[in-house]
Amino acid sequence: MAPFVPCGPRFKLVTEGDIQLCRLTHSGTVISKILSSKFLRRWETHRVYLNDAWLSSKTPTGFMEDSVPYSSMKEVTVVVGWDGGHRHCIRIVVPQGSLLLQANNAYVRDQWYHSIIWKKNLFRYQQTTRQTTRQDVLLKEVKSMVDLATSTPLQDHCIAQAPFQVISSLLSMQNERQWTLPHTVLEDLLVTLSPLLERQQPSLEMCTAFSGHCRSHPRSSLVRGLFTVIVQRILKHNVVSRKPARFPAASAPSSPRRHPPSSALFTVPFHSSFRAISEQF
């Protein structure tokens, strides 16, 4: 299945930048309503960072004296025509009120919006997959993460890598705690990740899980359906990338030396997987 390609503009993931901020309180007192009115509202310019777990400022003063954890963000929305003007704003609802971010134009606003949405959801995925013991919740979160990674208009190498990093972390925890995911759950995870495997190299932990699944369940439909395609693509890429170095135009070497893999894709577990697959034909 080919990955879904979103229509519309594309954006680079924002991790930091200068943007105007304003805080609004939601309490019902008369004083708070007066201070939040558009006539007394003031904007501050901050160098804002989108960290792994929170949004912070380079200068923690004023509206950004305290960082804003992603876990505290109840809602993130785009606001068109704030105060009846032409401001390009993002509204982040937090327990104490709202945080407004104002960009110079609609493109920059949407770039910040999608970046915040990505960071916020990625933090939730990481926390949930680490803490949950329910297999249905784990599969649901991974599917949601893959759906977001394949549908977001953000174009950055780390977008497709993020789901693999989460799964790799989960597999590492599995080895450290000496517990094993049931093979049915592992199969569901691999099927869920398949849209990203078409364009992104798997990690060492994932390669190890792939080869282990091939050895333990050689008649699994994934061995012929999913793994074969992945390994063939890897071997084809390996031959293409290494051919100029190993086979010069003048003549082929009589006894070519064994070269190290040209990419992290070509690991020993994957070659083990290919041997396990080949035995089925």
Question: How many C-beta atoms lie closer than 10 Å to residue 190's C-beta?
Answer: 21
CB 59 within 8 A of CB 47: yes
According to CATH, the topology of domain 16-118 is: PH-domain like (2.30.29)
Question: How many C-beta atoms lie closer than 10 Å to residue 273's C-beta?
Answer: 26
Question: What is the structure's pLDDT at 275?
Answer: 45
DSSP state at residue 52: S
Question: What is the structure's pLDDT at 115?
Answer: 97
CB 210 within 8 A of CB 272: no
Task: Provide DSSP, 90-134.
Answer: EEEEETTEEEEEEESSHHHHHHHHHHHHHHHHHHHHHHHHHH---
Coil, strand or helix at 252: coil
Determine the length of the chain: 281
CB 263 within 8 A of CB 236: no
Q: Is 227 exposed, middle or buried (0-12, 13-18, 19+ CB in 10 A)?
A: buried
Spatial distance between the Cα atoms of 157 and 135, rounded to a whole number of angstroms: 28
CB 21 within 8 A of CB 43: yes
Spatial distance between the Cα atoms of 194 and 200, rounded to a whole number of angstroms: 10
R_g over Cα of the chain:
24
**Alpha-carbon torsion 269, 272, 277, 280, what sign?**
negative
Question: What is the structure's pLDDT at 238?
Answer: 57
Coil, strand or helix at 87: strand
Looking at the DSSP bridge assignments, the partners of residue 89 are 79, 102
CA 98 to chain centre: 26
Question: What is the structure's pLDDT at 162?
Answer: 86
Q: C-alpha distances in angstroms, 84 versus 19, 34, 43, 74, 189?
A: 20, 18, 17, 24, 47
Q: Where would I find the beta strands (DSSP E) of 147-261?
A: none
> Consecutive sets of 10 residues in the chain, 281 residues long: mean pLDDT of each?
61 95 71 47 91 95 94 92 73 91 94 96 90 83 90 88 84 65 78 78 78 78 69 63 47 45 40 44 38
Segment 197-236, tens digit of pLDDT: 777 777 788 878 777 777 887 777 776 677 666 667 666 6
Segment 81-104, tens digit of pLDDT: 666 566 899 999 999 889 999 999
Question: What is the structure's pLDDT at 164?
Answer: 85
Nearest to 160 by CA among 212, 200, 103: 200
How far does the chain reach from its first CA to its final CA, in angstroms? 24
Token pair belonging to 229: 């395609």
Categorise residue 84: left if φ over 0, alpha if ψ from -120 to 50, beta otherwise.
Answer: left
Domain boundaries, the chain: 16-118, 145-248+258-278
CB 243 within 8 A of CB 179: no
